[in-house]
Structure 1
């Protein structure tokens, strides 16, 4: 699959895909005889994983570390798991913060509903 197709499929710009390859997030992307990238299933799976982790807020540095560990093989399984566990903790913290923000927002909306209702009653009473 050509880079433009991968870009469209995963919603990642071609520049970003090239950058990810350059910094080691996407390793071993096959090329055809002309030197043009020809993403195979494994490369597409890597793109999907990197995109998912970036969408989840994982830093480029952590992703590079993860991919380096992955490249080293099974002896790094525990380290990779620990890295993903830390990422999960960070996501849970962000979710908790968003839930607090949502609760505050809903409180303010309810407050304005009450203010608007009281204002309407006042206006009707003065007619």
Structure 2
């Protein structure tokens, strides 16, 4: 079985050696072995675990939850129900965050359109309801009607 140094793993997962050491010290890497010199050695078997950790970390899941999940993985089949529920919960949380991010992106795109047109007109007054600085809702409705996916 092929083995990898911590530097090779850091490069493979676009992270730093210091980050991997921190993960190990924080209990996220209970599967990692050490050689006679005390250096961390990763194997092909570890790559699947590292892929999971990388995904969970990029999904903004707190380290304490990732640590728990990794300990369940090492414990084996007895923890399959907990691991399945963990993934269900994380999927729901990630989908909720995606919805919030999509709504934010949609709003930013509306404002980009708004400012492009205001800039072209030389004023944003074209969007305001008479006598106010409030954007007439018809503009947003018109934008949404022509920019919905």
Q: Quick check: TM above 0.5?
A: yes
Gaps in structure 1 of 5+ consecutive residues: 121-127
Q: As a proportion of its length, which structure holds more strand?
A: 2
Q: Quick one: distance in 1 between partners of 2:79 and 2:14?
A: 30
Q: Which residue of 2 aligns with 1:68?
A: 71
Return the offset for 1:116.
2.4
Residue-by-residue CA offset, 1:9-53 (whole Å, 9 max, x unaligned): 111211211121122211231222322222111223322221111
Structure 1 stretches (4+) deviating beyond 6 angstroms?
Answer: none
Return the offset for 1:6.
1.0
Query: Does the Cα contact within 8 Å between 2:34 and 2:40 map onto a contact in 1?
Result: yes
Q: TM-score, normalised by structure 2?
A: 0.73
What root-mean-square deviation, in Å, do the aligned CA atoms of Structure 1 and Structure 2 show?
A: 1.7
> 1:92 aligns to what SS in structure 2?
helix
1:102 and 2:98 matched: no
Q: Which residue of 1 aligns with 2:6?
A: 3
**Highest RCO, 1 vs 2 (Cα 8 Å, sep ≥ 6):** 1
Gaps in structure 2 of 5+ consecutive residues: 124-149
